[in-house]
Amino acid sequence: NTNFVTVSQYVFDAFTTGGGTGDLILTGIPSYGGPAATHGFTLVSFTPTSPVGSGALFGITMDSITFPIFSIPPTLGSPLHYITTPGFYPEVPFSVPAGVLAGFNGITVEFVQVGLTNNYTLVFYSNVDQITF
């Protein structure tokens, strides 16, 4: 069952204050948005699409940052390859404090969340969210 999650209460959101602040908050789709998903990826692309969501890989364009994310083992608390567990991303937002990503000032980035079963069967992929640091 593959479905693009569009129900308003299940919107994936990437947020930064911008202007060189270097912060990031990722609010993922929690397990009740895709109950069969036991783990998943938050994919990142530094190659923005226009219009947003028009890329070939779940709405983003795969680049040299995106591809290596697939080789990261699933880790509790990791936003890149997460394990669905209460109290950890995507059940709760993932935050990066101000200053940590200041080197990305002015760079536009796209994010998409992909939920999978234990057998890597696709359960859902989210909307694409684009931010500029």
Distance, CA of 39 to CA of 20 (rounded, Å): 32
pLDDT band at 2, cuts 50/70/90?
very low
Give the pLDDT confidence of 111-129 residue by residue, as tens digits.
999 999 999 999 999 999 9
pLDDT band at 1, cuts 50/70/90?
very low
Residue 119: left (phi > 0), alpha (psi -120 to 50), or beta?
alpha
Give the pLDDT confidence of 59-113 residue by residue, as tens digits.
999 999 999 999 999 999 999 999 999 999 999 999 999 999 999 999 999 999 9
Q: Do residues 29 and 110 lie in contact, with contact meaning Cβ atoms separated by under 8 Å?
A: no
